[in-house]
Structure 1
Amino acid sequence: MTQQINDTVISKTLLSKTLIAADYNPTHDAMLARTLERIALKKDQNLRSPDELWIVDHNDVYTLGQAGKEEHVLQHTDTPIIKTDRGGQVTWHGHGQLVIYWLFDLHSLGWSVRHLVSHAEQAIEDVVNECLNSQSSSNDPDTNNGSKISAHARRDAPGVYLYADASEKASVTAEDNELNLPSDDAIMLGKIASLGFKIKHGFSYHGIALNINCDLSAFNAINPCGYAGMQMLRLSGFVAIQENTNEALSYEQVTQKLIDNIAQRHAGLIELRPVAPKR
């Protein structure tokens, strides 16, 4: 049964809601109902309601996007497969993965859909890179093999990916730094975060999923986001994620970092970096 922890006022125009052990269908139904209610308030009464971030810990589920192809489900397990109305193909949600739904009025923010996607990817990049840079050691000392690990978005495949660069003098240009591009010598290790949105009358819902300390074996039954052989990663494979300690990051700390980053973007305090061209 879904348990709602709290509603938090972040600002006059942004609220957050926390749900744990959340079943997918009732969560989706509530998110859609709230979006339709906000659309009606704006259309009928010209009222701007506060935007919302839903911080969700889902019970295990596979979701298939609106144009999702069944062929990307490689194996049927006891985990339910639910057709939904977001963009994208098939993915998994479950415990240890941070899901944040963005219920935003894009027109009031002055954002295009491209702005929304770029803000989502860049928020994840910022937080994951901060976490990676905050700890020099990995849970598994052999994981990084002395390489610098960094998070980057890709124009050809939505989401955020980790790259390893072992070169002492990586060939990164000033433009690459501004765009947060990996160096020419970097090797892509896999995908750490996914995103998929739905836009209705200028309002967004659905959102992002960041693998923090989840069991990645659930992805073995699918082609994640429609990419055969895509290696899925989690943050705990590269930095220590623990509970009740001052010496390591916790799931809650990573969550709060991401909420804070998104809230600053929502308030116009963090501007978009230029979007990288397709390579």
Structure 2
Amino acid sequence: MNAPLVKRLGRVDYAATVEAMRAFTEARDEHTPDEIWLCEHAPVYTQGVAGKAEHVLDAHGIPVVQTNRGGQVTYHGPGQVVAYPLIDLRRLGIFVKEYVFRLENAVLRTLERHGVTGHRVRGAPGIYVRLADPFGHARLSEDEQRSFAGLGKIAALGVKVSQHRTYHGVALNVAMDLSPFDGINPCGYAGLATVDLAKIGVSTDWDSAARMLGDHLAAQFAR
């Protein structure tokens, strides 16, 4: 089995990392091994290609960076594990929908290792937890699916695919200052709560969470 190479970059500049991903993707060929980059960023809001300015309510001096991933506005900051899988989908034999499903699977399995039950919400990529019962196993109700009632978002997704090759990726909130999320409509949803592992009672550090998420991502994209 050939798994992607996992690289832990530590804290790196957001814009420089996006440029490095773009350059890697443009330069690679059918023989280039896949990679997964794990990092964290200084505080920054990032807007997707469809991002609307009105979803930034009050940036409080935090930079707002336009980027070429899908989705709306989100926040990156210290205490969040950001994973950037650089995957050749054609070589792996999957399409974008399956790729997103596997990204979410890696987050779900990471949460499971901590006893946390993550949930998908139809039409809203990312992973959510029940705020009142993050360790319970009941399925989401139709009302929860429609309104996000009682849910908090713990992982956000935003991807770019160029010539069947991916970059950008997924961000898992571990132990961070969540207040900057109050300055935006996270992922374009007004009033959507955002949580991290610490807030729901899970004690872990960035290194451990990054290692675990990286392992699960590598397993999802091994060939």
User: Would the TM-score normalized by the shorter structure come out above 0.5?
Assistant: yes
1:57·1:99 contact (CA, 8 Å) conserved in 2?
A: yes
1:81 to 37, 59, 64: 64
Letter in 2 for 1:23: D
How far does the alpha carbon of each residue in 1:214-265 deviate from its partner, in whole angstroms, 9 at most, with x for none?
1000111110100000000001112342xxxxxxx33222211111111111
| Cα distance per residue 1:165-211 (max 9 Å; x no partner) | 76xx98x5xxxxxxxx4367976321100000000010000000010
AA paired with 1:117? Answer: V
Quote the residue 2:126 is aligned against.
Answer: 159
CA–CA separation in structure 1 for the residues paired with 2:160 and 2:200: 31
1:94–1:214 contact (8 Å) kept in structure 2? yes
Paired letter, 1:101: Y
Residue 63 of structure 2 corresponds to residue 93 of structure 1:
no
Q: Secondary structure at the match of 1:236?
A: coil
Judging changes above 3 Å, is the alpha-carbon distance between structure 1 residues 221 and 110 closer, same or farther for their aligned structure 2 residues? same
TM-score (structure 1 length as normaliser):
0.72
Q: 1:17 is aligned with what amino acid?
A: K
Q: Which residue of 1 aligns with 2:196?
A: 234
**Counterpart position of 1:182:** 140
In the alignment, the residues of structure 2 paired with residue 188 and residue 155 of structure 1 have an alpha-carbon distance, to the nearest angstrom, of 16
* More contact order relative to length (CA 8 Å, sep ≥ 6): 2
Q: Could you report, residue by residue, the CA deviation over 1:147-177 in whole angstroms, capped at 9, with x for unpaired residues?
A: xx621111221100002576xx98x5xxxxx
* Cα distance change, pair 76–255 in 1 and its aligned pair in 2 (3 A): closer
- Counterpart of 1:3? none
**Partner of residue 46, structure 2:** 63
Amino acid at match of 1:24: Y
Q: CA RMSD in A?
A: 2.2
Amino acid paired to 1:206: H
Question: Distance between the aligned counterparts of 2:20 and 2:163, measured in 1?
Answer: 18
When residues 230 and 25 of structure 1 are mapped into structure 2, their CA distance, relative to the original with a 3 A threshold, is: same
Q: Which amino acid aligns with 1:230?
A: L
User: In structure 2, what is the Cα distance between the partners aligned to 1:77 and 1:87?
Assistant: 24
- Deviation track 1:35-56 (CA, whole Å, cap 9, x = no partner) reads 0001xx33xxxxx211010101
Once residues 176 and 71 of structure 2 are traced to their aligned partners in structure 1, the CA distance between those partners, rounded to angstroms, is: 21
Cα shift at 1:13: 4.8
Aligned equivalent of 1:225, options 155, 169, 187: 187
Q: Which runs of 5+ in 2 are unaligned?
A: none
Inter-partner Cα distance in structure 2 for 1:31 and 1:25: 10
- Could you list the runs of 5+ residues in structure 1 that have no partner in the other structure? 1-10, 43-47, 134-148, 173-180, 242-248, 269-279
Give the superposition deviation at 1:19.
2.0
CA contact (8 A) 1:12 1:50 kept: no
User: Contact 2:129–2:154 at 8 Å: present in 1 too?
Assistant: yes
Which structure: larger Rg?
A: 1
Structure 1 residue 267, shift from structure 2 partner: 2.0
Shift of 1:18: 2.0
What amino acid does structure 2 have at the position aligned with 1:97? Answer: Q
Report the CA distance shift for 1:85/1:125 in structure 2 as closer, same or farther (over 3 A): same
> How far apart are the structure 1 equivalents of 2:87 and 2:130?
31
Cα distance between partner residues in 1 of 2:212 and 2:143 = 29
> What letter matches 1:201 in structure 2?
Q
C-alpha distance after superposition, 1:17-73 (max 9, x if no partner): 2223311111111110000001xx33xxxxx21101010111111000011100101
2:174·2:205 contact (CA, 8 Å) conserved in 1? no
Cα deviation, residue 122, structure 1: 1.4
Letter in 2 for 1:29: E
1:19 aligns with 9
Match of 2:168 in 1: 206
* Distance 1:107-1:165 versus aligned 2 partners, 3 A rule: same
- Distance (Å, rounded) in 1 between the aligned partners of 2:132 and 2:108: 16
